[in-house]
Structure formats: C-alpha cells, structure tokens
Amino acid sequence: MAEAVPVLPRPAHSAASRGGFFLWRDNDLARVENPLSFTDLGVPARLSTLLEQQGITTPTPIQAATLPDSLAGRDVLGRGRTGSGKTYAFLLPLVARLLDGERARPRKPRALVLAPTRELVAQIKEALAPLAKEAGLTVQTVFGGVGQNPQVEGLRKGADIVLACPGRLEDLIGQGHADLSAVQITILDEADHMADLGFLPAVRRLLAQTPKGGQRLLFSATLDQGIDVLVKQFLVKPVTHEADSAQSPVAQMDHHVLHLNREHRLQVLVDLATAPGRTVVFARTKHGAKALARQLNKAGAPAVELHGNLSQGARTRNMEAFHSGRATTLVATDIAARGIHVDDVALVVHADPPAEHKAYLHRSGRTARAGAAGTVITLMLDEQVKDVRALTRAAGIKPTVTRVNDPRHPVLAQLAPGQRVIVEGGYVSEVADSGSASGGGGGRSGGARRRSSGGGGGGRRTSGGRGSAGQSSSGQASSGNRSGNRSGSRSGNTAGGNRSGQGRAGANRTR
C-alpha cells in the first residue's frame, strides 16, 4: 500500500464542490498580473531548472491549473485538448513524487502511465527522459506490435516508471512479469481515446490492481462513454480542471472548407502538400491512407502513411521521416494519429471529412498546438455538403467556404503560401519493408522542381501565426515548419525539417 500523501486544502474562496468533484475556476488564473513560474506552482527547483534549460519557462493554462493540486497529492481530472501541454502537467508531479523514494523492486513499478497508442507512449517517454535522468529514475515502455522480451527484462530489473498500453501490460501481468501493488501514482492519458478503442474494461482491471491509497490523475477531453463511471470508481474527491475543452472552437485555428469536384481532389491535395512546411492529411480508412500516400509520392509530394496495418518498425520509421522533414506530409487515419506530437504542423487537411465532430476537433488538434496558429482545410464534394455542414455546426466552428472549380484556384496560395516544390519520386523508405514505404517513386536522388504557387511566394508561416500571401507573419521562425522563406525553403537546404529533405539537393527547375 502506498503511503498517504498529505492533502492541502484549497483556499475557501477559490473552489466550489459539485457532486463530489471540486471545481477550480481556471479563469481566475487569467487575473494574475505576472505569469506564474513552475517554481511558483510548487515544482521542485531541480526540475524547474531543468525545464528552464530547455527553454520552458511559462506554464500553459492546464499546467498552471493542475500542478498545485497534483503536486499536493490530490486526485485530478484534467480536461484539455491535445496540444495544451498536459504531458508536463502529469509528468512533473509524477517525477516529483518519486524523487526521494526507494528504488523500484523487480517487476514492481512505482508509477504507471496508461496511454491508448504506441506512438503516444513513445512521445511521453521522450518528454519524460530528461526529467527521469535528472531524478535518477528508470523508465520502461510496454506496448504491443514488438517482441515482449526486452520489456520483460526491463521489468525484471526494476523500473520506477512504466509507460504502457493496456493490452500488452495485462498480458505481461498475466504471465507474472509485472505487479502493480507498489504503484504510488497512476496516470491515464487520453482516456476518451481509450474508450473509443474499447480499452476501458482493461483500464478498470488494471486500476483495480493498484493500491487504493495511491494518487490518480486522469486526462480526457470528454467525460462520456463510461469515463465518468471510471472517475467515480477510482478517483477520490478529484479536483476538476478544464483549461481548454476539446469541445469548444479553437481560436488559434483558421478553418476553411473547399467545395470541389472529385476530379480536382488529388490535384488540390498535391498543391497543398507541396507548399513549404509540414502537412497532416487525414483519410477515413487504412486503405485510403495508403493509397493517398502513394498518389502523393507519385505526384512528387514526399509523404508517409500512418495507420493500423503498419508494423511498429514501419510506423517508427515513417514518423522519424516526418519529424526530420525527409517526408513533409503525413497521411493518417484517425486512430493512428491520436496522440502523435509533431511541432510546427501548420496545415491539417481533412481529405475525407470525419464522421463526427469530436474526430474533427481531435484531427484538427495536430495543428495550433501549445498556443501556436494553424490552418485546417476540409475538402468537400457535392454529396458531402449536408454532412460537412452538420459536422462543423456540431463542432462549434464557422469555417470559410470557397467553391474551387480550378485546381490552381488563388485560395490555395492564400491558405498555403510559398513556392511549390515537386520532389521527383516523392519519399521512399531506406529500409526494405513491405509496410514501411509509403508509396512508389524513384528514391531520394531525384531533383526538386519549384513552381510558382500563383501569387503566394514570399509568405512565411511560423509557429506563432500564419502569414498571408506576399506577407510575413510576426511569430518566431523555427526549423521544419512553414516558417522558412517560402521562396527558398525547399531549394535543397538540409537544415531542420526543410522540405527538400536531407540528401536531396538535386538540380532545381522552376516552372
């Protein structure tokens, strides 16, 4: 049984109780004249210093709201959309709690983080790594799609923190390789997505194996699909924080609908995908994502795919290619893309409009992360007009609708300014893997051809805003996004996430 942590009372004027939940009114934080620091919120000095060294100095709203409670040992229910900074909101109290404790015993972790997908587990590990190193903590990931022996060995040696997908963790517990009886703090990330995937029964079984005296933090965009029952069963008087609901419109996003003919769909996608910067394109099915990635590569837009039919190795290689900029477009399905984190995605394209509004908002959350700006485009065919109108109305947004009768319509240059660069052959994985390559093409040796975007040259896109055609936005530029000067960002420079890709500096031909 984990030791009970003293729970400090909230100031009487700042909280209200409702049905067993304590609600902290996060808009009170907006009235603080000076921005809070992590130290002000109670983060141990050695961890806040480490964050400062990484350039992280000002907490996001969800961090500022939840950290005082989570660091005090309270159970917390955090509601905030993807990209709001919730990863550090739960990692900081997790590491702080384990700082001065005893080392983990074999097969008995001291902390557990449950997440719905392998990609999300990997990204949590990446964010946790420097904090764990500073604290001298060991971390073990547990997920399917790969061999279990390295995971079993890591658990046998004694891991302080286990980051896991529910299915594989249950398997290893059933085989006697893991025991949750020593877990002091349990975190559920993207609980709503775990509900979508049918993982809640496994989550309940896993939570039931953790000590009742342990701390529990749950982060979810919504409380439907049985998540409210989970909260009532396993969280003790949780304090609820809702800094930015995934159900509300996102002010930082520019929403557009392009009403086009079916024969122009691919040409419009190619035009958008060959603009400077990172683009995420969503397809509704795994087959559709694979086919679309192949078509984009054939047309000269370096693309990789992400969907459930890929092996873990192929998924990892494709995400690395997208992170590095060797592939500049990621074509994904809803489930596969949930939880992925890529900074500076300036454009999200719904090639297939999603079936319901929550999926639209989660998809769109791949851009405008952590307060940055971003553009969201939905491609709408004649037969989809009614559904898209209902979708956007339910999502609470009012998109700008443009009829596009020509694949070179000027609106494309306005939404994604800059010279289009065609890379002959697109992107092809260096590893011969039937599931890793995103499509055909002639490899990496093809030269890049630049063509005018029809009046959009010279624009800049940064993580702080979206420049219009012929103008530059005021945010700070960063590598790998639409921040480079659009007239030359794809010309063969290999720095950062440049669209030319590393090793592709072939002869450029303007057309």
pLDDT score of 5: 38
pLDDT at 404 (0 to 100): 96
Backbone φ/ψ region at 105: left (φ over 0), alpha (ψ -120 to 50), beta = beta
* CA distance linking residue 156 with residue 149, whole number of Å: 10
Is residue 64 domain-shared with residue 126, that is, in the same domain? yes
The model's pLDDT over 421-480, given as tens digits with 9 standing for 90+, comes to: 999 989 876 654 444 444 433 334 345 555 544 443 333 333 333 333 333 333 333 333
Q: How many angstroms separate the CA atoms of 136 and 101, rounded?
A: 11
What pLDDT does 484 receive?
39
Rg from Cα positions in the chain: 23
> Which of 95-104, 194-203, 470-479 has the weakest average pLDDT?
470-479
Quick check: is 4 in a domain? no
* Overall domain count for the chain: 2
Mean pLDDT of 290-307: 95
Residue 12: the pLDDT is: 32
Residues 357-363, mean pLDDT to the nearest whole number: 80
DSSP state, residue 421: E
Where residue 16 falls among pLDDT bands split at 50, 70, 90?
very low
* DSSP string for residues in 431-458: S--TTT--S----S-PPEEEE--SS-TT
* 222 and 257 share one domain: no
> Is residue 233 one of the residues assigned to a domain?
yes
409 and 392 assigned to the same domain: yes
Over residues 153-177, the pLDDT tens digits come to 999 999 999 999 999 999 999 999 9
Domain end: 224, 244, 264, which one?
Answer: 244
Cβ-contact 300, 423 below 8 angstroms: yes
Is 411 part of a structural domain of the chain? yes
- What pLDDT score does 211 carry? 96
Most confident of 30-39, 70-79, 448-457, 478-487: 70-79
CA atoms within 13 A on the CB side of 115: 25
Predicted confidence band at 134 (pLDDT cuts at 50, 70, 90)?
very high
Residue 5: inside a domain, yes or no? no
Residues 184 and 324 in one domain: no
Q: Is 3 part of a structural domain of the chain?
A: no
- Between 322 and 485, where is the model more confident? 322
User: How does DSSP assign 317-341, residue by residue?
Assistant: HHHHHHHHTSS-EEEE-HHHHTT--
Note whether residue 9 is domain-resident. Answer: no
d(CA 371, CA 85): 9
Q: Read off the pLDDT of residues 254-269 as tens digits, 9 standing for 90 and up.
A: 899 999 999 999 999 9
Which pLDDT score, from 0 to 100, does residue 336 have?
66
Could you tell me what percent of the chain has a pLDDT over 70?
A: 71
Q: What average pLDDT score do residues 125-133 get? A: 96
Could you tell me if 270 and 195 lie in one domain? no
Verify that 164 and 213 share a domain, yes or no.
Answer: yes
Task: Pick the more confident residue, 29 or 99.
Answer: 99
Lowest mean pLDDT among 216-220, 248-252, 337-341, 468-472: 468-472
Same domain, yes or no: 188 and 332: no
Q: Other CB atoms closer than 10 Å to residue 28's CB: what's the count?
A: 12
Q: Are residues 371 and 224 in the same domain?
A: no
pLDDT of residue 414: 93
Q: What percent of the chain has pLDDT over 90?
A: 50
User: Is pLDDT of 364 > 90?
Assistant: no
CA–CA dist 270, 288 (Å, integer): 16
Q: Decide if pLDDT at 19 tops 60.
A: no
Cβ(283)–Cβ(289) under 8 Å? Answer: yes
SS3 370: helix
Distance CA 436, CA 28 (A): 48
Residue predicted with more confidence, 358 or 164? 164
Distance CA 243, CA 271 (A): 36
pLDDT at 84: 67
> Which pLDDT belongs to residue 296?
97
What is the per-residue pLDDT for 26? 40
Q: Is the pTM higher than 0.75?
A: no
Residues 214 and 268 in one domain: no
Instruction: Return the pLDDT at 431.
Output: 52
pLDDT of residue 253: 78
Amino acid letter, residue 317: R
Listed in order, strand segments (DSSP E) in 145-271 are: 161-164, 185-188, 215-219, 239-244, 253-260
Last residue in a domain, options 187, 214, 244: 244
User: Mean pLDDT lowest for which of 69-83, 348-362, 437-451?
Assistant: 437-451
Q: Is residue 7 part of a domain?
A: no
**Looking at residue 309, what is its pLDDT?**
87
Q: Evaluate whether residue 403 is within a structural domain.
A: yes
pLDDT tens digit string along 3-12? 443 333 333 3
Instruction: Please tell me whether residues 176 and 322 are part of one structural domain.
Output: no
Query: Do 74 and 197 reside in the same domain of the chain?
Result: yes
Q: Which of 244, 272, 294 is the last residue of a domain?
A: 244
**CATH number, domain with residue 149:** 3.40.50.300
Cα 438–Cα 441–Cα 445 angle in degrees, nearest 5 = 115
Same structural domain, 433 and 354: yes
Predicted pLDDT of residue 476: 36
Q: Which residues contact 259 (CB under 8 A, 6 or more apart)?
A: 380, 381, 382, 385, 401, 402, 403, 404
Question: Comparing C-alpha atoms, which of 341, 339, 392, 338 is closest to residue 369?
Answer: 341
Domain that holds residue 404: 253-510
Could you tell me if 322 and 331 are in contact, meaning their C-beta atoms sit under 8 angstroms apart? no
A 10 A CB-CB count for 187 gives 27
